[in-house]
Structure 1
Amino acid sequence: MSLSPRDAIFDCGPRLLRDIWTLTGIAIVIVILRVVAKIRIRKIGWDDILMVSSLCLTIVGSALLTVGVRHGFCRHVWDLDTKLVVPKVIMFDYLTQTFGIAGGTLGRVSFIVFVIGLLGTRKSHRVILWIIVGLQILTNLILIIILFVQCPGHASAIWTQSGEHKCWDVRIQAYYGYYQGSFNSATDLYLAVFSTYIFWSLNLKLTVKLGLVTLLGLGIFAMAASVIKVVQTQVLAHAADDPTVATVNYNRWLYIEAYLVIITASIPCIRSILRSVRGQTAGTGRSTYELSSPYCGNSMPTSRSRRLTAIPGKSMIRISDNSSADDISEWNNEIDGVHERTDSKQSIYVHV
């Protein structure tokens, strides 16, 4: 039986939407669990607010992508009404990219803020992490600006493609996209290595170290998606050939990257719920953990710590309860050390 012309039209929209909305559902569940876990231990902070904002932006982007697909995105431009439909599809494509970039950026910033509170015991570490926050915002914001100023004074010319107005060379967006994607990948790699570097030096059992490093190193999956997206960036320099299909895989990996950032950055925060499911007592939000490390110094805020009796040749690092340590560091039965209990708090001291 022969196919009708309508049936023969290429349309990869259903598959794209299936991939995107599957990740959307997973991200929503994980972030809800994150918020519930933080409420249980009374540790809602800026990292959680930023993560919820990141999720909202990516959901809006997913909705815009859905609208774009219904208007003809994922179909070849020659199968659409060039004058009426194509400009609208390209507009939704640009808006979709904007929200995807913004969502991924806020997700990374949220995780960095979380890491600063948890592991930023040295001033040099905190300075580096805050610099990365600034560069993340600046790098991704510039790409968003480039998206909409390519045709100076005539933003609509970007999607109408009438040729009546002078626009930048499309390679500018592509080349900057290579830098932006590479920087995001490098950020994910640095955060994974940084967490491993800090926790591997602690005087903990190997299984505990592996657990902590794994939880904080899940961002390596977001890095892999970011690398694939960087490879797809090449289409931005040739999108005009078939603008309603050319960026399909680019958008797919842009949103896979953004959602993996949200998911992997939130999983470490839901450990208290997982412990409750296993029948263990969830954190009360009043615990502090002091773990040995060669990286601690005098940079610790005096308002969050108290002087301990010095032991020659020993140094200590404190993971403060203000940094959501209950979520990922409550390994009481596995940590070697001396336990001190009071009516209001529990402290663990491990010397090296």
Structure 2
Amino acid sequence: MSLSPRNSVYNAGPQLLRDVWGLTAVAILIIILRIIAKLRIGKFGADDILMVSALCLAVIGSIMVTLAIKLGFGQELSSINTSNVSKIIMHDYLTQTFGLAGGALGRISFIVFIIGLLVQKRSHRIILWILIGLQVIVNSIFIIILFVQCPGHASAIWAHSGKAKCWDLHVQAYYGYFQGAFNSATDLYLAVFSTCIFWNLNLKVRVKVGLVALLGMGIFAMIASIIKTVQTRVLATSDSEPTTATIDYDRWIYIETYLVIITASIPCIRSLLRPTNSRKISSSDTHELSSRYAISSMRSRTRRRDSSIDGKRIINVSEGDLSIDDEISRGYQHNVTPQLGESRESVVICV
């Protein structure tokens, strides 16, 4: 029997659209600030390219959900033109695909960022690179499952022609639980890992707390990931009401994805929030840094003196000039013995 359009009593599409595009706007702003901050200190790298790519995937997903809503996604099946149903399902699958891919790439970007800071222990680097590999594998398998559940007839997933034999929908639901749990565990691990590593650095308590707070913000993405994982149950019954069943699931996919992008990028824009007139650190804190991070970021923006110690040029900088990785490097390379003739109100970097 043909379904004729009528005024819908239930329409969750507009609210989903506002939620997704609200987060999209915030994420775009944060990424722009991240790029400006990284270019400003000369440290635009692989992690930034990955994060911009993650944002692009998420924005494409936001466009897909917009197209689906324009076709009737979020309305009851009886309220939609029959010819649009298969298109809605197809756009819904693409929405999930780009959202999941964006979240995975965002996590990979953050891990690469952490690896760039924690260069001291080889074991830490190995664990983090393994985590990157698992992120690729676990999330890729879920996306593959979405499109191969009707072997040899991918279009049958949304066409519902009844001619193709497809897997039980519980397959993608069960794997979705695993994929969601893994992503949640990854967010928790990165938050705890960052806290443990940075708390042991030889830095002031207030600096430690600041670094831990910034780099532990992924806990919010973990909470969103847990909620999204709970919503995965709808995948097992989505056939009964394909135009409304996954509304909340899609919403939490994008909340999770954009929170990953936002919380992983906020630490990178810290340098933009520093006061223009840098203040000096306390007279009891003089440090000697030999970190490659400190050298590369400060060479172009600090005042220099024509003095040397053992053939090395001395650069004096104030604490306000330090970016997040400079402060971490300072913690690793801490040396409380001031150099002869140096002011005790300066950070000393030997290059």
**Which whole-Å deviations, capped at 9, do the CAs of 1:4-23 have from their partners, x for residues lacking one?**
x9444311111101111111
Instruction: State the alpha-carbon separation in 2 of the partners of residues 80 and 69 from structure 1.
Output: 11
Instruction: State the alpha-carbon separation in 2 of the partners of residues 338 and 174 from structure 1.
Output: 59
One-letter identity of the residue aligned with 2:114: V
Equivalence for 1:254 = 253
Equivalence for 1:78 = 78
Q: Does 1:117 align with 2:113?
A: no
Q: Does 1:212 align with 2:231?
A: no
> For residues 153 and 199 of structure 1, do their structure 2 counterparts lie closer, same or farther at Cα, with a shift above 3 Å needed?
same
One-letter identity of the residue aligned with 1:68: A
Equivalence for 2:21 = 21
**Partners of 2:288 and 2:348 within 8 A in 1:** no
Q: Look up the SS of the partner of 2:349 in the other structure.
A: strand
Equivalence for 1:67 = 67
> For residues 216 and 322 of structure 1, do their structure 2 counterparts lie closer, same or farther at Cα, with a shift above 3 Å needed?
farther
Instruction: State the alpha-carbon separation in 2 of the partners of residues 168 and 322 from structure 1.
Output: 56
Instruction: State the alpha-carbon separation in 1 of the partners of residues 257 and 295 from structure 2.
Output: 27
Alpha-carbon distance, 1:202 to partner: 1.7
Instruction: State the alpha-carbon separation in 2 of the partners of residues 266 and 339 from structure 1.
Output: 35
Match of 2:323 among 297, 322, 327: 327
Equivalence for 1:347 = 349
Q: How does 1:156-175 map to 2 (within 5 A)?
A: 156-175=155-174
Identity of aligned residues (%): 60
Q: Look up the SS of the partner of 2:11 in the other structure.
A: coil
Alpha-carbon distance, 1:75 to partner: 0.7
Alpha-carbon distance, 1:156 to partner: 0.4
> For residues 237 and 40 of structure 1, do their structure 2 counterparts lie closer, same or farther at Cα, with a shift above 3 Å needed?
same
Q: Which protein has the larger Cα radius of gyration, Structure 1 or Structure 2? A: 2
Equivalence for 1:140 = 139
**Partners of 1:270 and 1:327 within 8 A in 2:** no
**Partners of 1:339 and 1:347 within 8 A in 2:** no
Equivalence for 2:188 = 189
Alpha-carbon distance, 1:136 to partner: 0.1
> For residues 346 and 90 of structure 1, do their structure 2 counterparts lie closer, same or farther at Cα, with a shift above 3 Å needed?
farther
Equivalence for 2:94 = 95
- TM-score normalised per structure 1: 0.81
Q: Look up the SS of the partner of 2:274 in the other structure.
A: helix
One-letter identity of the residue aligned with 2:13: G
> For residues 322 and 60 of structure 1, do their structure 2 counterparts lie closer, same or farther at Cα, with a shift above 3 Å needed?
farther
**Partners of 1:151 and 1:157 within 8 A in 2:** yes
Instruction: State the alpha-carbon separation in 1 of the partners of residues 147 and 338 from structure 2.
Output: 58
Instruction: State the alpha-carbon separation in 2 of the partners of residues 339 and 196 from structure 1.
Output: 29
Displacement over 6 Å in runs of 4+: 322-325
Equivalence for 1:267 = 266
Instruction: State the alpha-carbon separation in 1 of the partners of residues 337 and 255 from structure 2.
Output: 44
One-letter identity of the residue aligned with 1:76: E
Alpha-carbon distance, 1:252 to partner: 0.3
Alpha-carbon distance, 1:206 to partner: 1.7
Q: Look up the SS of the partner of 1:85 in the other structure.
A: helix
**Which whole-Å deviations, capped at 9, do the CAs of 1:206-265 have from their partners, x for residues lacking one?**
211110100100000000000000000000000001011000000000000000000000
Instruction: State the alpha-carbon separation in 1 of the partners of residues 22 and 39 from structure 2.
Output: 26
Alpha-carbon RMSD across the aligned residues, in angstroms, is 2.6
Gapped regions of structure 2 (runs ≥ 5)? 280-286, 299-321
One-letter identity of the residue aligned with 1:41: I
Alpha-carbon distance, 1:323 to partner: 9.6
Report the number of matched residues.
307
Q: Look up the SS of the partner of 1:347 in the other structure.
A: strand
